[in-house]
Structure 1
Amino acid sequence: MKTETLSLKVEAELKNEFKLVADYYHRSPSQIIRELMRDFILENRQLNELTVKTLSDSENNKELHTVKSTEELFKQLGI
């Protein structure tokens, strides 16, 4: 996977404290930032194409089916 560099400005105290906590958990700041970015995307992702179709079908009483759990639903919806 190709990587790119992301530059950002933060207060020196925030950077130093972040590095100390990352070191405590034996992880690099970059590892933690990538994880935070992925979590942010998952929490704020727009509806995907399948979700839009499913909602439309549901409103029109088409192709209705049940799932056993929210995890199964999210898996089927691709989220």
Structure 2
Amino acid sequence: MSIKTGQELRRPLMAVAACRHYPPAQIIRDLMRLHKASNETPNVLTAETIRKGRHDEDVFQASSASDLFKQLDI
């Protein structure tokens, strides 16, 4: 992968990398991972479960794992 940047981005990146003894490519990979993680969306089932939980739908109260499994018929 090639990334084209202007000097206004490259110089500060190189300075930070040199100061921290950290490869510039690793900084870019870390930023890419952060970007990916912040933009991931849950799958349909997870999104629906989150929505229901926020609206107190299909919420189970249990005193223990065994109690919860019993309520869920597991």
Structure 1 length as normaliser, TM-score? 0.57
For 1:61, the equivalent position in structure 2 comes to 57
- Identify the residue that residue 42 of structure 1 maps to in structure 2: 37
1:9-48 alignment, distance < 5 Å? 9-48=4-43
Look up the equivalent residue of 1:21 and give its one-letter code: V
Which amino acid is 2:10 matched to? K
**Higher RCO, Cα 8 Å, sep 6+:** 1
Within the alignment, does 1:51 sit opposite 2:56 as a pair? no
C-alpha separation in 2, matches of 1:33 and 1:61: 42
TM-score by length of structure 2 reads 0.60
In angstroms, what is the RMSD of aligned CA positions?
A: 2.4
More helix by share: 2
Larger radius of gyration: 2
User: After TM superposition, which residue ranges in structure 1, 4 or more long, deviate above 4 angstroms?
Assistant: none
Unaligned runs of 5+ in 1: 1-5, 67-79
Which ranges of structure 2 fall in alignment gaps of 5 or more residues? 62-74
